[in-house]
């Protein structure tokens, strides 16, 4: 028997059936077909799913559950480790303070869920959110999704990432940043000890003197990055390459 066939069965204790299905690890079918279960308290089923580690299905099918306090459900999901499902299905939840939810997720080191689902969050100060996510060590998600952030100055975000030791993500997702001075960014990334990411992503940087970049890396004892990415460097003559043993 599957929940969608439940109406064909007579004399069943639907609460007991729901319990058994959830306990067998098939809580998704209960959540998806919750309207088929003749139970007076959907909160009981929701709590059962959340406590059993399947709260993500409550979030996914939240609109089918009746009589739930959405704020209470969101808090329980976050507390039980399913905070990502709140972010992914945020539009299903009614009456939430989106800033409060974002703060809770970021504080638990799930800031990447906020960054990846940022368009669903309403009323956020995107600069504040970016700052906080970066400060919690999840700056890669900010860099990767920088186009989602409504901030007037991408340089501020790039500098924040570089200063926080995550300049490699600026280099990796450089094409998504707007209004940056690529030479300035490359120099800052190298100075902060992430010069390898400049070498690895060198084709993404515009207007650089590749020999100058190679010189800077070599002087910092990071000539291996030049050697390992030699095909990406333009304008290095054979004398330079031989002198620094790049082959």
Q: What is the pLDDT of residues 25-70, one digit of tens each?
A: 677 888 888 877 766 688 988 999 999 899 999 999 999 999 999 9
In a domain, 76, yes or no: yes
Residue 223 in domain: no
Q: Is residue 91 situated within a structural domain?
A: yes
Does residue 67 sit within a domain?
yes
Which range has the worst mean pLDDT, 32-36, 95-99, 117-121, 193-197? 32-36
pLDDT for 36: 77
* 115, part of any domain: no
Q: Is residue 83 part of a domain?
A: yes
Q: Judge whether 1 lies within some domain.
A: yes
Residue range(s) defining the domain that contains residue 35 = 1-96
> Which of these ranges, 21-35, 155-169, 175-189, 216-230, has the smallest mean pLDDT?
21-35
How large a percentage of the chain has pLDDT more than 90? Answer: 79
Helix extents (H) in the chain: 14-23, 27-32, 42-51, 55-60, 70-79, 83-88, 98-107, 111-116, 126-135, 139-144, 154-163, 167-172, 182-191, 195-200, 210-219, 223-228, 238-243
Q: How many domains does the chain have?
A: 1
* pTM for the model: 0.85
**Cβ contact 12:19 at 8 Å:** no
- pLDDT score, position 16: 65
Q: Contacts for 3-12 with beta carbons within 8 Å, 24 or more apart? A: 3/29, 3/30, 3/32, 3/33, 3/36, 3/37, 4/29, 4/33, 4/36, 6/33, 6/36, 6/37, 7/36
- Is 41 contained in some domain? yes
């Amino acid at each position: 028997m599957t929940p969608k066939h439940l109406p064909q069965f007579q004399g069943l204790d639907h609460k007991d059936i729901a319990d058994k299905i959830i306990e067998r690890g098939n809580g998704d079918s209960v959540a998806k077909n919750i309207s088929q279960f003749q139970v007076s308290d959907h909160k009981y089923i929701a709590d059962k799913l959340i406590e059993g580690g399947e709260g993500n299905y409550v979030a996914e099918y939240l609109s089918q559950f009746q009589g739930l306090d959405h704020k209470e459900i969101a808090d329980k999901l976050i507390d039980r480790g399913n905070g990502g499902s709140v972010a992914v299905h945020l539009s299903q939840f009614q009456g939430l303070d989106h800033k409060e939810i974002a703060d809770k997720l970021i504080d638990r080191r799930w800031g990447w869920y906020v960054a990846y689902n940022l368009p669903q969050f309403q009323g956020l100060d995107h600069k504040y959110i970016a700052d906080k996510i970066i400060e919690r060590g999840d700056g890669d998600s900010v860099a990767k999704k920088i186009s989602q952030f409504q901030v007037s100055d991408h340089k501020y975000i790039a500098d924040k990432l570089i200063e926080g030791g995550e300049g490699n993500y600026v280099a990796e997702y450089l094409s998504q940043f707007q209004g940056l001075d690529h030479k300035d960014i490359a120099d800052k990334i190298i100075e902060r000890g992430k010069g390898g990411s400049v070498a690895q992503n060198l084709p993404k940087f515009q207007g650089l003197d590749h020999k100058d970049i190679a010189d800077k890396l070599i002087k910092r004892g990071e000539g291996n990055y030049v050697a390992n990415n030699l095909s990406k460097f333009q304008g290095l003559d054979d004398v330079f390459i031989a002198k620094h043993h790049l082959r």
